[in-house]
Structure 1
Amino acid sequence: MELNLEKIKKAQENINAVVRKTPLFYTSTFSKKCSCKVYLKCENKQKTGAFKLRGAYNKLVNLTEEEKKKGVIASSAGNHAQGVAYAATAFKVKSTIVMPLTAPQAKVDATRGYGAEVIQAGQVYDECHDKAVEIQKETGATFLEPFNDVDVMAGQGTIALEILEELPDTDVIVIPIGGGGLISGIATAAKALKPSIRIIGVEPEIIPSAKTSIKNGKVTTVPGAKSLADGISVSTIGDKCLEYLQKYVDEIVTVSEDEIAHAMFQLMEISKLIVEGSGAAPLAALLAKKIKGIEGKNVALLVSGGNADIATTAKIIERELVLEKRTIRFEVELQDKTGALGTLISKIGKMGGNVVTVRQDSNWNEKGLEYADVSFEITVQSKTHGESILNCLEKDGYVVKLI
């Protein structure tokens, strides 16, 4: 069975009543940063919080009644799980999902909430896939592949139809790659409608299974490593997907964990979007200047999902604020006398610093009992603002040491 534009247009008809047409919006800030016209295709606003519902629902539509009666089973790091659970429940079909032990709890809870039975096994997608295959053999349930399936690819390809309908002048589409189903569907549709369009894939540099497979000319397994972009932490891409990657994808670039985290933070602060690591990968590639020849071009970034783990997101925010010097940690040698600490806190506050934590490490230091080392964590408006506060403290006679 071949993936083509006709099959993708049929998928659009199949899913039209259920799947949202997600927004595609221009962002002037990122356009200035990246020297091109940046548009965000927000699949994080899709039902279930990610693009995966498109492929899962189209697959359910194409199942026979006998296959539906057996129930369905799938393996997923989270987004395919939710898509399958939602679609199966809509068709009144029993669903079982095998998810990695490392899957964000928010995705696990959401999958159960959509009506699936969840079994957790393995550290990365490939390990939980093996477990799902084992269960499928025992139960006879119909296995729903997350990416290596033409019906699934066709469902994901409907995103390209929406992008080019709304922005026919799109020059480049940048897409995260996990197993390859999403980029296969989008690339097939986009190249059929506009052969001149560039299709760029992005994957984590710690698990570059697609780039390695393209280089080797065959599906190549890359040793498992869990990226911050958990949805695209896939060791082995689909063999069916590889065919379409080789045929239609112009380039694959990789991004570091730091670059992914920075892009997540930027999307939160600038575009007010909560985005998981996979969804932030395309912007990470742009901000890190990994994609060449896009100056002045219309570039659509696929924000594939928004099912970010809250605890991880909080750590990213804290880390980025420290890196940008908007959270400052420092130690002050303070004379241990009544009112000294209060006076210092008041000084910081008057200069616009927000004191988050204060801790006196001991009631004396090397100068003796009359002095104490006090550590502070403060938030400021900018790196320059923070530097001015520290400079003012030193001018007032305080001994300040950055931590």
Structure 2
Amino acid sequence: MPGPDKVFKETLMAQKRLKPYIHNTPVFTSESINKLIGKQVYFKCDNLQRTGSFKLRGACNAVLKLKESSPNVQGVVTRSSGNHGMGVAYAAQKCGLQSKVVIRQGTAKVKGDALQVYGAEVIYCNPTPADSIAAVQRVQQETGYTMISSFENDDVLFGQGTVGLEFFDQVSDLDAVFIPLCGGSLTASVAAVAKYRSPNTKVYAVEPEGKGLEKCMREGNTSSWPSPPNYITTIAEAIQLQYVAKQNFPLLCELVEKEVFAVTDSELVEAMMLVFQRLKLVVEPSGAAGLAAVMSSRMKEVCGDDVQKVGIILSGGNVDLDNLPWGQRQ
């Protein structure tokens, strides 16, 4: 399992590798949000990344590395809630490879449609982790395609860290950064980058209510989680898996604050609406998780007045505009 030093060094190399394929995404601010929250808030807008999320970074790095090491590879396969799959499909298209992406039934239509635009064959499965794993295994057996995991892949981890390299170059001396967490690659890699580029910055993970990462981090293991993992009931489909990758968990325990922010659906909707209204940006529920944490009552309890300069990663913007969550509120 890579330690912080290796993650940082490999992330620097990933940044060079990815330069022709990704955007250096902008940082936005809003005076009205600053006044509302009482802090200086800086939004790293990876919802404006190609394919609509930060996931392109890790997926593209992994596919490019695969093509370098195995020039005769024919294709790639993955399972995804949508964003990682789009990254894999985009990268495969750039490398002249075939791609197949397994997504669960009920995934936002915008994500399924985009996968096809990027050239992927979309395979739908029942909405359980076990079914998606079985579907990928069938594709591998039938085609010989290489699996590009969204979590259990070091090259994905290194690619995600490029968000941190950009962010800490764009905004210096952040007191804290808040990062949506599913399998942990983004949070772990940005935390490793922070250790070397912004060592005084605290890194906080943000999860949907019910995941229980804080308990696992304090106990030093994930034995309380089911295996195979469950999907948590949340509108944030991109971060609803109750799981953290094995190579990411030690990094999280070493580098990330033990206080994990668990946000509710109503908090996610409120934050998402604020991004739409004040920043004029399209963001999906998981992408608004960092802002939901900063707006929560726990922010004062955990961070007090010491944290004034806050970084938030808007991780994705692939949302179904025909089914925005505030239209469903009572």
Query: Matches of residues 385-400 of structure 1 in structure 2 within 5 Å?
Result: none
Q: Name 1:316's counterpart in structure 2.
A: 326
1:261 Cα deviation after fit: 1.0
Distance 1:281 1:126 in 2: 26
1:159 Cα deviation after fit: 0.7
Match of 1:69 among 53, 68, 73: 73
Residues 99 and 119, structure 2, Cα contact 8 Å, conserved in 1: yes
The alpha-carbon distance between structure 1 residues 109 and 180, as it changes in their structure 2 partners (threshold 3 A), is same
Q: Name 1:266's counterpart in structure 2.
A: 274
Distance 1:274 1:68 in 2: 39
1:255 Cα deviation after fit: 0.4
The answer as to 2:198 corresponding to 1:194 is yes
Residues 209 and 234, structure 1, Cα contact 8 Å, conserved in 2: no
Match of 1:122 among 122, 126, 133: 126
User: Per residue, is there more strand in 1 or in 2?
Assistant: 1
Residues 173 and 200, structure 2, Cα contact 8 Å, conserved in 1: no
Return the TM-score normalized by structure 1.
0.75
Match of 1:256 among 258, 264, 267: 264
Q: Name 1:299's counterpart in structure 2.
A: 310
Q: 2:269 is paired with a residue of what secondary structure? A: helix
1:84 Cα deviation after fit: 0.4
Query: Deviations along 1:10-58, whole A, 9 cap, x unmatched?
Result: 0000001110011112222222222211011110100000001110111
Query: Matches of residues 3-402 of structure 1 in structure 2 within 5 Å?
Result: 3-63=6-66, 64=68, 66=70, 69-124=73-128, 127-206=131-210, 208=211, 210-219=213-222, 220-221=225-226, 223-250=230-257, 251-291=259-299, 292-293=302-303, 295=305, 297-313=308-324, 315-317=325-327, 319=329
1 or 2 for the larger relative contact order (CA 8 Å, sep ≥6)? 2
1:104 is matched by which residue type in structure 2? A
Distance 1:10 1:104 in 2: 34
Distance 2:185 2:19 in 1: 20
Distance 1:180 1:56 in 2: 14
Residues 124 and 226, structure 1, Cα contact 8 Å, conserved in 2: no
Aligned length, in residue pairs: 318
Q: 2:214 is paired with a residue of what secondary structure? A: helix
Unaligned runs of at least 5 residues, structure 1: 323-403
Query: Deviations along 1:281-316, whole A, 9 cap, x unmatched?
Result: 111111113223263621110000000112321x41
Structure number with larger C-alpha Rg: 1
Distance 2:137 2:298 in 1: 37
Distance 2:161 2:69 in 1: 25
Return the TM-score normalized by structure 2.
0.91
Q: 1:69 is paired with a residue of what secondary structure? A: coil
Residues 129 and 230, structure 2, Cα contact 8 Å, conserved in 1: no
Query: Deviations along 1:51-75, whole A, 9 cap, x unmatched?
Result: 0111011111211453752311000
Q: 1:240 is paired with a residue of what secondary structure? A: coil
Distance 2:271 2:231 in 1: 23
Distance 2:304 2:104 in 1: 37
1:150 Cα deviation after fit: 1.3
The alpha-carbon distance between structure 1 residues 96 and 162, as it changes in their structure 2 partners (threshold 3 A), is same
Distance 1:70 1:33 in 2: 52
Identity %, equivalent residues = 32
Distance 2:109 2:63 in 1: 26
